[in-house]
Copies of this chain bind each other. A is one copy, B any other.
Amino acid sequence: MPRNPADSPIQPWRLFPPRQIATTRVFDVNARRGQSTANPDRSGEFFSLDCPDWANVIAITPDQQVVLIEQFRFGIEEVTLEIPGGTIDHGESPAAACQRELLEETGYAGDEVRMIGRVSGNPAIQNNFVHTGLILNAKPAGVPKLDQFEEINVSVIPLDAVPGLIRTGAIHHAFVVAAFQHLSLTDV
């Protein structure tokens, strides 16, 4: 069995203060020097994105359907099929962000959020985590409130169709696939 990371033979590198090399609405890009503690002759410049944590939410209706959204994604220049989610606001809890994003993006609301897992967005080059919430008994509860850049289509599909959509690649967003892995490890 793997050790607790604190007992790992791999030790954290010494990191020097970051220098911001770009800033955007969604993330900042930092560069900083890192130096191996095991071998101080080994050092280099490393780049990372400074981002707030994100939340996504698996919302399941009383008849065991899951609420999905389609939206155009600027990174891959494609319309993707995903679960709702977004940036956790400063001071907001991951659970509150799940509830808010579900309502804002889809107009759905349901039972109290249960947090079922979190993943690091991309630990090599990003500092943030993505938190997955589960909301049962989700039902239409209002009109979506989209932000200025959001165009979203809401659909519901049977929860038991999700594995097939992941297998065929119709659902391919890494955070969404990871969210359903966490769901499969959760006693609902």
Contacts and interface: CB of A to CB of B under 8 A. Distances in A.
Contacts of A170: 2, 5
Interface stretch (A44-52, A88-96, A106-114, A133-141): A44-52
A75 B125 contact: yes
A29 to B, nearest CB: 5
A122 to B, nearest CB: 6
B76 A1 contact: no
A38 interface: yes
Contacts of A163: 185
Nearest to A36: B151
B173 A120 contact: yes
Contacts of A143: none
Interface in A35-94: 36, 38-39, 42, 44-49, 68, 70-81
